[in-house]
């Protein structure tokens, strides 16, 4: 019997790449769920999905996770063995203007998924958390055992809540649960609201990019292929009966922070053009630096991230120029 896997947020950046990876394994039946909301370019989501539905081993449902009735009905019908819950309202800055969307998708929606998992006795639950749960720390690298009590945005607060909600269900109902703390994932087909995508969009519209905090922010940029390899290795190890722990969180990153200005310089080098910039002060909700401690993740996976920031930017810029027919 094939193992049944549900991926929520399958039309999203990370969700679609994970779905593609899991579809390569013929021991799995893959199901995907997404509400295809218009937070960013719908065509990008539809194109990602178009690729996935070509595979006969993939079944798609257009459902909003805040609709408990539909979620429970779907879980009852398909009886999943494993669930990867990636659907969420993402974005730090957007959460300051639109907190309600985060309440509906990230808290109510997350609760609905937990209930469906409990009722249908799903074996393994994997969910997306974020490096933003660490807030502004003075000590680096950021280790999974650091406190996460001071989120700087409502988005980060919802991700912190997800971790504690998931912990309570895991301990009450013995659900094996793993949280992924993603660190600034980037690459081809990435999110238009994030760098480097947003920088290229502005550049080709002949607008100045906004460089917050004078470009002094540092981020542990993580290439999409490395992200997916880490998720897959964690999945393989933790779904085994030999893995006894009922609840863990893992940093998903390379542990190699980069200054934002360095990142912009790499994009300019690849484009062979200067990008026009407007330097702006730090924005509410932004953290100054992320830099992951990857010891715990490495101990489990024995995987070191492989794609350098230079190669990652090159791959992204090539994809962007080709996808949008730019020169």
Ligand X SMILES: NC(=O)c1ccc[n+]([C@@H]2O[C@H](COP(=O)([O-])OP(=O)(O)OC[C@H]3O[C@@H](n4cnc5c(N)ncnc54)[C@H](O)[C@@H]3O)[C@@H](O)[C@H]2O)c1
Supply the residues annotated as catalytic: 155
Residue 109 CB, nearest distance to ligand X (Å)?
A: 5
Residue 233 CB, nearest distance to ligand X (Å)?
A: 18
**Nearer residue to ligand X within complex by CB, 12 or 285:** 12
CB-CB contact of 267 with 196 (8 Å): yes
**Nearer residue to ligand X within complex by CB, 128 or 271:** 128
- Does 105 participate in binding ligand X (rule CB under 6 A)? yes
Residue 327 CB, nearest distance to ligand X (Å)?
A: 27
Q: List the one residue out of 102, 290, 259, 289 whose CA is nearest residue 183.
A: 290
Contacts of residue 66, Cβ cutoff 8 Å, sequence gap at least 6:
104, 105, 108, 109, 112
CB-CB contact of 15 with 36 (8 Å): no
Q: Which of 19, 66, 290, 301 binds ligand X (CB under 6 A)?
A: 66
Say whether the peptide bond before residue 259 is cis (omega within 30 degrees of 0).
no
Q: List the interface residues with ligand X, window 167-206 (CB under 6 A).
A: 182, 184-185, 191
Residue 65 CB, nearest distance to ligand X (Å)?
A: 4
Q: What distance in Å separates the CA atoms of residue 214 and residue 90, rounded to the nearest whole number?
A: 24
- Does 90 participate in binding ligand X (rule CB under 6 A)? yes
Q: Tell me the number of residues near ligand X by CB under 6 A.
A: 27
Ramachandran region, residue 161 (left: φ > 0; alpha: ψ -120 to 50; beta: rest): alpha
Stretch that binds ligand X, among 4-12, 75-83, 229-237, 308-316 (CB under 6 A): 4-12
**Nearer residue to ligand X within complex by CB, 152 or 191:** 191
CB-CB contact of 307 with 225 (8 Å): yes
- Does 257 participate in binding ligand X (rule CB under 6 A)? no
**Nearer residue to ligand X within complex by CB, 9 or 196:** 9
Residue nearest to ligand X (CB): 12
Residue 99 CB, nearest distance to ligand X (Å)?
A: 14
Q: Which of 7, 12, 80, 133 binds ligand X (CB under 6 A)?
A: 12
- Does 88 participate in binding ligand X (rule CB under 6 A)? yes
Sign of the CA dihedral with 141 first, then 144, 146, and 152 last: positive
Residue 206 CB, nearest distance to ligand X (Å)?
A: 26
Q: What distance in Å separates the CA atoms of residue 272 and residue 264, rounded to the nearest whole number?
A: 12
Ramachandran region, residue 189 (left: φ > 0; alpha: ψ -120 to 50; beta: rest): left
- Does 87 participate in binding ligand X (rule CB under 6 A)? yes
- Does 285 participate in binding ligand X (rule CB under 6 A)? no
Helix, strand, coil abundance in the chain, percent, nearest 5: 45, 20, 40
Q: Which of 9, 32, 188, 196 binds ligand X (CB under 6 A)?
A: 9
What's the token pair of residue 302? 């024995």
Sign of the CA dihedral with 191 first, then 195, 200, and 206 last: positive
Rounded to 5°, the CA angle 40-82-119 comes to 100
- Does 292 participate in binding ligand X (rule CB under 6 A)? no
Contact residues for ligand X, defined by CB under 6 A: 9, 11-15, 34-37, 45, 64-66, 86-90, 105, 109, 128, 130, 182, 184-185, 191
């Amino acid at each position: 019997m094939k193992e049944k896997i549900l991926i929520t947020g399958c039309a999203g950046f990370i969700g679609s790449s994970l779905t593609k990876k899991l579809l390569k394994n013929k021991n799995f039946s893959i199901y995907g769920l997404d509400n295809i909301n218009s937070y960013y370019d719908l065509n990008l989501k539809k194109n990602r999905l178009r690729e996935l539905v070509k595979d006969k081993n993939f079944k798609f449902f257009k459902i909003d996770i805040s609709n408990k009735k539909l979620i429970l009905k779907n879980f009852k019908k398909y009886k999943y063995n494993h669930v990867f819950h990636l659907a969420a309202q993402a974005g730090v800055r957007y959460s300051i203007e639109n907190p309600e969307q985060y309440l509906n998708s990230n808290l109510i929606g997350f609760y609905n998924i937990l209930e469906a998992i409990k009722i249908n006795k799903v074996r393994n639950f994997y969910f997306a958390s974020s490096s933003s749960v660490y807030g502004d720390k003075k000590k680096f690298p950021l280790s999974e055992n650091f406190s996460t009590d001071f989120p700087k945005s409502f988005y980060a607060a919802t991700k912190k809540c997800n971790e504690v909600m998931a912990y309570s269900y895991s301990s009450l109902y013995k659900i094996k649960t793993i949280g992924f703390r993603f660190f600034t994932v980037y690459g081809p087909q990435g999110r238009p609201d994030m760098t480097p995508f947003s920088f290229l969009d502005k550049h080709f519209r002949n607008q100045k990019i906004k460089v917050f905090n004078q470009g002094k922010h540092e981020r542990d940029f993580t290439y999409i292929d490395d992200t997916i390899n880490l998720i897959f290795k964690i999945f393989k190890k933790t779904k085994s009966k030999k893995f006894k722990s009922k609840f863990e969180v893992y940093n998903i990153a390379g542990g190699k922070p980069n200054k934002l200005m360095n990142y912009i310089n790499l994009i300019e080098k690849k484009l062979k053009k200067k990008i026009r910039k407007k330097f702006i002060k730090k924005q509410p909700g932004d953290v100054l630096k992320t830099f992951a401690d990857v010891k715990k993740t490495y101990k489990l996976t024995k995987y070191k991230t492989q794609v350098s920031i230079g190669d990652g930017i090159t791959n992204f810029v090539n994809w962007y120029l080709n996808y949008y027919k730019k020169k």
